A and B are shown apart, each in its own frame.
Chain A
Amino acid sequence: MAGEDAVLDMLEAEAVHILREVAGAFRRPVLLYSIGKDSSVLLHLALKAFAPGRMPFPVVHVDTGWKFREMIAFRDATAERLGLDLRVHTSPEEATPFTHGAHEYTRIKKTLTLRKALDDGGFEAAIGGARRDEERSRAKERIFSLREPGHRWEPRSQRPEFWWQANTELAEGQTMRVFPLSNWTELDVWRYIRREDIPVVPLYFSAPRPVVERNGSLIMVDDDRYPLEPGERPVERPVRFRTLGCYPLTSAVESKAENIDEIIDEMGRDRRSERAGRLIDGEGGTSMESKKSEGYF
């Protein structure tokens, strides 16, 4: 389509502008890398924004210990390939999605670990790959989103965003989360990955994978820690993932899309919300809101 490249150019320019603003305005920024497609795009943009110089901030990954094995392999290969200053943070606390419930598990392994990583690094600004079209409550999210001391997200103290001017000043204890992909849609992300030939985790593409069905969700059994019901056995089905997270909490979709063109085609036909596959979002309508106010990304 005629406008596609022009739209991607605008989105790229906007994201690059935001990334440069972060690098110029904050003393210690950091890029939060979750290994998913949005993170891959974000990383690609951050490298482009400062070429031929180097990306002037490190990369942090919060590893819950329950990511898909292919994600971890991809992460390490990516860090190697691009020569990233990658810092992996893991919580020493014992928690699993099965023993603690999805919400408490996420709070311990993800939210608290992220907060500690940011505090320990003294990072004033954390760049993330969240998009406004992911979920209704994100439609109102700022590009420069303020966090109060303790990483608390206060909806009422968010700053108005006039023009392309960001107020990057911070009072004592405040930090900033920055979302350069705010105005991107899921389709934009895939089109950009295709155009720029950005590597992504193979889990996004359909392949026969061992899955079990739980409450209507297809869960891939990625290792032998997954507690199977008596008599339950994983079945190989052609599936892929629209978003990636902790494997016991990420639902697969049945699909034959084996490459980016087929994914983009499929998106034109299958019109379900992207985060429908994230079990953690489902706990009550306000789930994302409440996680955010605790400091979740």
Chain B
Amino acid sequence: MVAVLRVVACGSVDDGKSTLIGRLLAATGGATDDQLDYARTTRRGGSTVAAGAVDYSLLTDGLEAEHEQGITIDVAHLFMDLPSGRRVIVADAPGHEQYTRNMAVAASTADVSVLLVDATKGVREQTRRHLAICALMGVPSVVAVVNKLDAVGWDRSVFDDLAGEVRAAADGFGMRADVIPASALDGDNVAAPSPRLPWYDGPTLLGALTAWEPAGSRAEAGYRLPVQYVIRADGFRGFAGTVVGGPVRPGDAVAVAGGGRTSTVDRLLGPGGADLDRAAPGTAVTMTLADDVDVRRGDLLATPEAIGDGPAPATAYSVTLIWTAEEPLRNGRSYLLRAGGRTLPAVVTAVRDRLDVVGGGKYAARALDLNDIGTVELTTDTPLSLDPYRESRHTGSLLLVDRVTKETVAAGMVRHALRRGRTVTPRAYTVDREARQRLKGQRAKVVWLTGLPGAGKSTIANTLERRLHGMGLHTYVLDGENVRGGLNKDLGFTPQGRAENVRRVAEVARILVDAGLIVVVALVSPFRTDRAAAKALFPGGDFAEVWVDTPAEECARRDPKGLYAQAEAGRLPNLTGHGQAYEPPEHPDLVVDGAGSPDEAADALCALLRV
């Protein structure tokens, strides 16, 4: 039996959510006498509750409390004891601000979603949104309450239609839904069966919460123990954490994810240090091992089979993010990733798409804004052992934290490890970049020329390379036009196409720098985030962002490839500086005047390269 049931309450105040929860609270003895007195004697404008009767919405009304206190309650927690002895923790996100975020927080630990549907209004966009967020956060089941049945004359056909709609919607999100007809105002079917609903023989809401058990027991998964703390005492070294995934017993095999180290569980201690012969998921334990294995906070101890196809360490993951910060997510930006007691730097290497949670559609995206949900790729330097979120909320979830403000900017749900992140174990070669540089007698670098089409990037690159070549330096120019003729000929000029174009050019530049060359890139690369991602590939000081600043009119006058003329004629919608914006660098390493002479530009660049 589930001793503690976690419930997320979905619905708006207008649907009667506060009244419903207040009723339930009172029916289970969770409201104190002074609270009931307050709810009996206080009336809010527009209240239809009879004088002297209890206005149940006042027992829980988060919005009311918000007004009273002049603050925003984002997630409120209420506790109820059911007659069966089961504890129910209700997480309620009453506020309107940051609704997606708060709803997702409330749903993140929930076993059940209690979803209110107003019988007079039917299944609305908001209803679907609630279902979608619950599904996204992995809430397995829904108890839908079709409320205000009194207002539709207790009409069975109204209920049947709505129940069918709710079930179909839940089914679409892969959730199981029970639907209950009710009137929270009068308490029908909340805690006691209603005599006005003779045609309904299902459970009350209280009954449904009492009877709830997890749907079909999954095949017992292997245990995991994310190590929180190493407990040391005289001759004792134990690894403390909370068991997840499946049960564990003394004698079970143990592997330390990532290190290839294995051992056997020697003892399992509960809180206080008493020996346990079995620890179920959710138990706080201290584990000792039969062998002397180096284990520290942030390590994952797990059943060895799990390490095989489960949380094998990887450095790249596909992750669904809920963006919770005002400042948008930027491609290529580095954040702190927190998971399983570890904090380590992680770079968002790609924003794949933004999710329309209600419609299920996916849209191409290059950034995520506050409350957006999207798929990204995350890369870390150190391998991490994460499960897919659908298999474990504990070992499949993560937070992204801003490196400076330390605020939580996103909650992440692992979709899967990326193959490249798993198989790529960089191999160290004896002849490395340093050795190659030494042989060439030079320091490898990237000079990245960005600017409008026709700004003079290629001309300057050509002048610079001739100059360097003349000095006996080894160089290569990556020209946007040339690369698009081969490596990147599959790419277009949409923002996504450009992002990929920049990414590939940057990767090629990285290989050439590793080969010891001085690389000159001549590429429009109009977007800051793309250039920032390119820069992030290189050690500090090895990448110079140079803005070839030429007035747009001058570029259009030159028009060496006839692009501006075509755009003017309406045949080139994505031309930078015409149909698409150019984002100038905010902190370039150098600005050269594209309207000036290429030789002067080359002088300045040589000075920058210190050659």
Residues of chain A at the chain B interface (Cβ within 8 Å): 1-4, 6-7, 9-10, 12-13, 16-17, 20-21, 23-25, 45, 47-54, 132-133, 136-137, 139-140, 155-165, 167-171, 174, 182-183, 185, 187, 270-273, 276, 285-286, 289
The one of A155, A162, A170, A270 in contact with B71, judged by C-beta atoms closer than 8 angstroms, is A155
Contacts A140-B73, A163-B109: A174 and B406 contacting too (C-beta < 8 A)? yes
Q: How far is the CA of A155 from the CA of B254 in the complex (A)?
A: 43
Q: How many residues of B contact A (CB 8 A)?
A: 72
Partner of A16, one of B35, B84, B85, B271: B271
CA distance A158 to B229 in the complex (A): 26
Q: What chain B residues lie within 8 Å of A25 (beta carbons)?
A: 341
Query: Is B404 a contact partner of A171 (Cβ separation < 8 A)?
Result: yes
Q: Is the CB of B242 within 8 A of A10?
A: no
B86 A162 Cβ-Cβ under 8 A: no
> A272 touches which one: B4, B32, B271 (CB < 8 A)?
B32
- Judging by beta carbons under 8 Å apart, are B233 and A52 in contact? yes
- The reply to whether A170 and B102 form a contact with Cβ atoms under 8 Å apart is no
User: Across the interface, do A52 and B228 meet the contact criterion of CB distance under 8 Å?
Assistant: no
Is A53 a contact partner of B233 (Cβ separation < 8 A)? yes
Residues B405 and A276 in contact, CB atoms below 8 Å apart: no
Residue contact B32 to A185, C-beta cutoff 8 Å = no
Which residues from chain A contact B398 at a C-beta distance below 8 Å? 165
**CB-based contact B104/A162 at 8 Å:** yes
- B343's nearest neighbour on chain A, judged by CB, is A169
Q: A-B pairs with the 3 shortest C-beta distances?
A: A3-B85, A6-B3, A51-B273
Cβ–Cβ contact B75 & A7, under 8 A? no
Selected A-B contacts with CB under 8 Å, 13 pairs:
A7-B85, A12-B284, A47-B272, A49-B271, A52-B269, A132-B79, A137-B65, A169-B336, A171-B405, A273-B32, A276-B34, A285-B69, A286-B69
Which B residues, 45 to 91, have Cβ-Cβ distances below 8 Å to chain A? Answer: 62, 65, 68-79, 81, 84-87, 89
The one of A3, A161, A169, A289 in contact with B3, judged by C-beta atoms closer than 8 angstroms, is A3
Complex Cα distance, B89 from A14, in Å, reads 13
Candidate in A136, A137, A168, A286 with the most chain B CB atoms within 10 angstroms: A136
Q: B3 near A9 (CB under 8 angstroms)?
A: yes
Question: Is B73 within 8 A of A13, CB to CB?
Answer: no
Minimum CB–CB distance from B454 to chain A (whole Å) comes to 45
Q: Which residues of B contact A136 (CB under 8 A)?
A: 65
How far, in whole Å, are A52 and B77 apart by their CA atoms in the complex? 34
Q: Name the distance in Å between B241's Cβ and chain A's nearest Cβ.
A: 7
| A-B residue pair count with CB separations less than 8 angstroms | 180
Proximity bits, B23-47, A CB within 8 Å = 1, else 0: 0000001011111000000000000
CA distance A21 to B226 in the complex (A): 11
Q: Give A159 to B71 CA distance when docked, in angstroms.
A: 15
Contact yes or no, A171 B3, CB < 8 A: no
Task: Give every chain B residue within 8 A of A54 (Cβ-Cβ).
Answer: 233
B397: interface (CB < 8 Å): yes
B4→A163 contact, CB < 8 A:
no
Instruction: Assess A159 versus B3: contact at CB under 8 Å? Given A53-B233, A137-B69.
Output: no
Question: Is B510 an interface residue when CB atoms closer than 8 A count as contact?
Answer: no
B69 → chain A, closest Cβ, in Å? 5
- From 351 to 369 in chain B, residues with beta carbon under 8 angstroms from any chain A beta carbon are none
Q: Is the CB of B79 within 8 A of A133?
A: yes
B601 located at the interface, meaning its Cβ lies under 8 Å from any Cβ of chain A in the complex: no
User: Given A13-B284, A139-B73, A171-B405, are A52 and B231 neighbors across the interface (CB < 8 Å)?
Assistant: yes
Complex Cα spacing A58 to B360, Å: 52
Contact indicator B105/A183 (Cβ below 8 Å): no
Residue of A nearest to B33 (CB): A271
Most chain B CB neighbours (cut-off 10 Å) among A4, A6, A155, A162: A162
Contact A162–B411 (Cβ < 8 Å):
yes
| Complex contact B68–A285 (CB within 8 A) | yes
Contact indicator A160/B272 (Cβ below 8 Å) = no
Q: Which residue of A52, A164, A170 contacts B406 across the interface (Cβ within 8 Å)?
A: A170
Q: Is B191's beta carbon under 8 Å from chain A? A: no
| Closest residue on chain A to residue B94 by CB atoms | A140
Q: Determine the distance from Cα of A116 to Cα of B1 in the docked complex, in whole angstroms.
A: 47
- Interface presence of B443 (CB below 8 A): no
User: Whole-angstrom distance between the alpha carbons of A146 and B577 in the complex?
Assistant: 45
Q: Which one of B73, B233, B408 lies within 8 Å of A160 (CB-CB)?
A: B408
Does B282 sit within 8 A of A, measured CB to CB?
yes
